[in-house]
Amino acid sequence: MANIPAIPAVVPFGVRLREALDTRGPVCVGIDPHASLLRDWGLDDTPEGLRSFSFAVLEAVTGEVNSIKPQSAFFERHGSRGIAVLEDLLAAARERDVLTILDVKRGDIGSTMQGYAEAYLLPGAPLEADAITLTPYLGFGALAEAMALASANGKGTFVLALTSNPEGRSIQHAQSAAGVSVAAEVVREAQRSNAAEMLKCGSDLGSLGLVIGATIGSAARDLGIDLAASGAPLLAPGIGAQGAGEAEVRDVFGNALGNVVASVSRGVLRAGPSVATLRDAARRVTDDMSQAVSA
């Protein structure tokens, strides 16, 4: 009887992210090719400039940070040629064993949500990423298709919960008739999802992450939210140029510091275009953030 090759087990995103956090530190570098940054680097605001920028950042941070976070909007603004650059960047990151969190903030219902999920979370898709950002404001249940596809394929999701922008408070802090905030409900749903996965694979980190701004101060505590209990990786924008440093990170995340994925963009990107200076900047930021999240 011929030997049938074993089908490799799908490793959950949370397990892979924990390994990356433990070995490469808490920093995720955002790849945000603003027109002004391209100009500062001496690049044209074109798909060619976009490619030079993005691949220089990838080369610099490979092996230095836990992941990269391309902001889809800055690729989409260049049309199909910009999207082609994003496809190539995601593929190159996979080849280099760099985790990718694609910042697309999708949120819809039914077959449309399924379509978005297949675009980013289906293995072999041109825009395949390790994880994507999602918005839950059509109802957390509307995200079910994306979360199911992510779980089946070892992918992750990061759901907006408590964001850094002041406008978000009017929705995220709003309370239901039961007196529970929208943000607390989102965190509660993440905790339910992560608990089952963590029990199954013996990890302390699930694959359903939360976006928690590093500049929100005491908001999580004020709303009665226990971030550590969620078992969620905590994607934390707002660090560096947006105002959050070591003290702010410690204040916001408390006993969940070990789950923080510290999103840093300008703090690294402004060091370009030299790959060497970008790498040095990534190492400095990693050292600073490692100290901030250490117990």
Q: Which residues are tagged catalytic?
A: 105
What is the Cα–Cα distance from 217 to 283, expressed in whole angstroms? 26
Residues 6+ apart with CB under 8 A from 144: 113
Contacts (Cβ under 8 Å, ≥6 apart) of 76: 82, 83
Question: Is 89 in contact with 31 (CB distance < 8 Å)?
Answer: yes
- Alpha carbon of residue 291 to chain centroid: 21
Could you write out the DSSP letters of every residue in 179-227?
S-BHHHHHHHHHHHHHHHHHHHHT-S--SEEEEE-TT-TTHHHHTT--T
Q: Coil, strand or helix: which one is 200?
A: helix
Binning the chain into helix, strand and coil, the percentages to the nearest 5 are 50, 15, 35
CA distances from 69 to 132, 271, 287 (A): 9, 17, 19
The helix or strand, by DSSP H or E, that contains position 54, with its residue range, turns out to be helix 47-61
Q: Is residue 273 reached through a cis peptide bond, with omega within 30 degrees of 0 on the bond before it?
A: yes
Token pair listed for 184: 């607390």
Residue 91: CB atoms within 10 Å: 14
What contacts 97, CB < 8 A, 6 or more positions away? none
